[in-house]
Amino acid sequence: MHHDAYSTLRVSHEAGIARVTLDNPPVNVLDVALMADLRRLLTGLRDDDSVRVIVFDSADPDFFIAHVDMALVDAPDAFDELAADTPDGVNVFQALGELLRHQPQVTIVKLAGLARGGGAEFVTAADMAFAAIGRAGIGQVEALMGIVPGGGGTQYLADRIGRNRALEVVLGADLLDARTAERYGWINRAIAADELDDFVDRLARDIAALPEGVVAAAKRAIVPADLAEGLLREHDAWAGQFVRPAAEQLIRGGLAHGAQTRDGERDLESLLRRLAG
């Protein structure tokens, strides 16, 4: 791995663990640069037998991944280059989630800040996620923008927490705290904030130190659900809403009123509800 090849990631590698820190100020939006770096990283690691575990965290204590870059509304062709290299049957956002879901290494998210929209989808696509009590939050905020999740979120949620709770998360559009996300099964565990680093580090080291072949065998036996048909349905639902005037108005309004700024992102749900009301 060429660790200096990423503009939005800091990557280190030791004892079978790749540690990936997301660093895309001001709030770690999932824009073209971050998505391209994540795709290049995951693809490059696929055949790296020296790495057994990939741990993701954020350089920003308040934000893991805010959400997909809302400025996409003014640059609809921004992701065209990435989309040209996307497998059939998924859109460019779903492709990132599917790449992560099918990664041969064990993938772990250390969630100490907020993850909404595409950020929440990334967390859900990882093998495991652990969240800091009192600091972490996770939510699918898309409905407040007049759309639905379009990067795998609807399918990942229904598979993980059940249809009824998936509908609550998608249509309620609330930010769930770590304890609630744990109770719903969205994350593995809610952990005291001052214990999160040590817990994830110990788990990653223990997994990386397992005898040869154990990680690969477990991942062959415990496979991700086949969501191909559902991802097509999700894309159609998302794309159908994205072209409606209400979605464009809400997204532009959100940007004009502080979305993707640190202050605006702290209570994004309230900001968007005021616009929608």
Quick: pLDDT tens for 233-248. 999 999 999 989 999 9
pLDDT tens digit sequence for 63-104: 999 999 999 888 878 888 888 889 999 999 999 999 999 999
Can you tell me the distance from the alpha carbon of 177 to that of 132, in angstroms, rounded to the nearest whole number?
9
Q: Is 108 helix (H, G, I), strand (E, B) or coil?
A: strand
pLDDT at position 1 over 80: no
* CA 73/CA 228 separation, integer angstroms: 26
Q: Quick: pLDDT tens for 113-148.
A: 999 999 999 999 999 999 999 999 999 999 999 999
**What distance, in Å, lies between the first and last C-alpha atoms of the chain?**
48
pLDDT above 70: percentage of residues in the chain: 99
Domains contained in the chain, CATH given: 9-194+223-276 (3.90.226.10)
Measured in whole angstroms, the distance separating CA 257 from the mean position of its chain's CA atoms is 24
Q: What are the tokens at 88?
A: 């059939």
- Written as one letter, the residue type at 266 is R
| CA dihedral sign of residues 83, 73, 94, 7 | positive
Question: Whole-angstrom Cα distance, residue 177 to residue 58?
Answer: 18
Strand, helix or coil for residue 253: helix
d(C-alpha 250, C-alpha 61), whole Å: 28
In sequence order, the β-bridge partners of residue 108 are 55, 128
d(CA 166, CA 161): 6
pTM of the model: 0.96
Are 260 and 24 in contact by the 8 Å Cβ rule? The answer is no
- The 10s digit of each residue's pLDDT in 9-25 is 999 999 999 999 999 99
